[in-house]
Structure 1
Amino acid sequence: MIQPNTVITGDSLTVLRSMDDESVDMVITDPPYGIDYQSGRKEKERRLAKIKNDKAPFIWWIYDAARVVKRGGGVLCFARWDVQQTFMDALRLAGLTVKSVIVWDKKAHGMGDLKGSFAPRYEVIIFAAKGRFELPGKRPDDLIACAKVGNQSLTHPNEKPVELLEQLIETTTTPDALILDPFAGSGSTLVAAAKTGRQYIGIEIDEHYSQLAATRAAEHQKGATA
């Protein structure tokens, strides 16, 4: 059994298979979408490396994520408009019920085709439940406006703002919940869990990011319990 407030360096597929059935309350994660993106806004020597397994939508973790989440819990999965159906189909095939697609307004647009498409300003978060899920508090809107992490502040190429993760955690779980992030990255989900009084388990394949996530989360865990 994995102890709470732990970050594991390893392949999420392997680690998830070792976890007990119905052992976590909520899975909140930002898996590889298939973007294979690297920002060109920083000087070449300062650009963050591309993340692993990002050549196509990475869905193979979903079956075991559905297995380890408790009945009455669920999965919050980040995605993008052009791949969200792939993730929704995989969540349904794993036995979960897709309840909502949350729109995250990043308050600033990205790049893309500058002359041939609308400027991308949002990402989606798919919420899928296992069995009957009930919100612990007030019903939230399915639109969240939260500024993205600025390019000069990024520690991970796909880093999500802690404030956004805090909102998701507080609206879907109670303070005694155990949050799992199989693609922990720089640890934003884990930091948000610690800051809101939840426990966490993170899995990250890249040793550098795993260590960063563990350090960031532990700092806030100490602050929450001091």
Structure 2
Amino acid sequence: MIQYENKLIHGDSLTVLRQMEPESVDAIITDPPYGINYVSQTGARIKNDTAPFIWFLYDAFRVLKSGSSGRRTLVCFTRWDVQQVFIDAIRLAGFVVKSEVIWDKVEHGMGDCKAQFAPTHENIIFAVKGKFSFPGHRPNDLITHRKLHANQMVHPTEKPVPLLADLITAVTKPGDLILDPFAGSGSTLVAAKKTGRRFIGIELDDDYYQTAQRRIEEAVT
């Protein structure tokens, strides 16, 4: 386990998770493929995005600490139309779903501009393993951070580092070990480093792995 701390691992999340020690991380904060065949305005796609990627959840539950030994939380991004699939799978894996957190993105996205309300939010599932209490004050279930503009993004579904930093500080303490099995461009890992947490990231895509590695190295604590 020690060789994984504060590292980004290039590989398949399922393979790496199965090699990790049980009850070894304090929190999992991640943005898995939603299973919506997402295509950005520039044509970029996400690997393994043909169906909601729920297969990591059993091992996610296994590697989280239990008892009084850690924070024991899962923070999982999703979207309204696949959210129930993720909630059902999270519960089947053994977690207790405690909250739906809403990320207010301030500016709306695209979607069906003639027959769909303009989407200005994204859904986040908060679940726990065993007994849990917030390390600080009780956070609100609405978090407002302006989404990144397309010309700022290095990954098609990139989340703002300040948003992830807020989530991290709400559910963990400095020094806790955070796992992101779908690291993408490394935003969660950068936020972990900036907030004084240890981290493990896993990323399959070669280009995003390189980008994430560079961002982590450049991040200032």
Q: Tell me: CA distance 1:203–1:81, structure 2 relative to 1, closer, same or farther (3 Å).
A: same
Alignment of 1:4-23 (within 5 A): 4-23=5-24
Alignment of 1:136-147 (within 5 A): 136-147=135-146
Write the letter of the residue equivalent to 1:163.
Answer: P
Structure 1 unaligned spans of 5+:
41-46
What is the SS of the residue equivalent to 1:104?
strand
Give, in whole Å, the separation in 2 of the partners of 1:9 and 1:92.
Answer: 28
Q: Could you say which residue in structure 2 is the equivalent of 1:170? A: 169
Give, in whole Å, the separation in 1 of the partners of 2:53 and 2:39.
Answer: 18
Structure 2 unaligned spans of 5+:
none
Give, in whole Å, the separation in 2 of the partners of 1:133 and 1:35.
Answer: 32
Give, in whole Å, the separation in 2 of the partners of 1:48 and 1:70.
Answer: 39
Give, in whole Å, the separation in 2 of the partners of 1:48 and 1:81.
Answer: 22
Q: Could you say which residue in structure 2 is the equivalent of 1:44? A: none
Q: How big is each residue's C-alpha offset from its partner over 1:134-165, in whole Å with a ceiling of 9 and x where there is no partner?
A: 10000000000111111111100000000000
Query: How many aligned positions are there?
Result: 216
Q: Could you say which residue in structure 1 is the equivalent of 2:55? A: 60
Q: Could you say which residue in structure 1 is the equivalent of 2:204? A: 205
The 8 Å contact of residues 75 and 127 in structure 1, kept in 2 or not, is answered as yes
Q: Tell me: CA distance 1:48–1:202, structure 2 relative to 1, closer, same or farther (3 Å).
A: farther
Give, in whole Å, the separation in 1 of the partners of 2:189 and 2:139.
Answer: 21
Write the letter of the residue equivalent to 1:107.
Answer: V
Q: Could you say which residue in structure 2 is the equivalent of 1:31? A: 32
Q: Could you say which residue in structure 1 is the equivalent of 2:102? A: 103
Alignment of 1:116-155 (within 5 A): 116-155=115-154
Q: CA RMSD in A?
A: 1.0
Q: How far did 1:49 drift?
A: 2.5
The 8 Å contact of residues 48 and 156 in structure 1, kept in 2 or not, is answered as no
Detail structure 1 runs of 4+ shifted over 4 Å in the superposition: none
Q: How far did 1:48 drift?
A: 5.4
The 8 Å contact of residues 155 and 186 in structure 1, kept in 2 or not, is answered as yes
Q: How big is each residue's C-alpha offset from its partner over 1:169-219, in whole Å with a ceiling of 9 and x where there is no partner?
A: 001000010010000000000000000000110000011111211221122
Give, in whole Å, the separation in 1 of the partners of 2:40 and 2:156.
Answer: 8
TM-score w.r.t. length of structure 2 = 0.95
Q: Could you say which residue in structure 2 is the equivalent of 1:51? A: 46
Q: How far did 1:34 drift?
A: 1.3
Q: Tell me: CA distance 1:56–1:152, structure 2 relative to 1, closer, same or farther (3 Å).
A: same
Write the letter of the residue equivalent to 2:83.
Answer: Q
Give, in whole Å, the separation in 2 of the partners of 1:93 and 1:154.
Answer: 34
What is the SS of the residue equivalent to 1:189?
helix
Give, in whole Å, the separation in 1 of the partners of 2:63 and 2:210.
Answer: 24
Give, in whole Å, the separation in 2 of the partners of 1:144 and 1:35.
Answer: 24
1:191 aligns with 2:186: no
1:70 aligns with 2:78: no
Give, in whole Å, the separation in 2 of the partners of 1:34 and 1:109.
Answer: 21
Give, in whole Å, the separation in 2 of the partners of 1:73 and 1:135.
Answer: 11
Mean CA deviation greater in 177-186 or 207-216: 207-216
Q: Could you say which residue in structure 2 is the equivalent of 1:156? A: 155
Q: How far did 1:67 drift?
A: 0.6
Q: How big is each residue's C-alpha offset from its partner over 1:18-44, in whole Å with a ceiling of 9 and x where there is no partner?
A: 00001000000000001212223xxxx
Give, in whole Å, the separation in 2 of the partners of 1:110 and 1:209.
Answer: 23
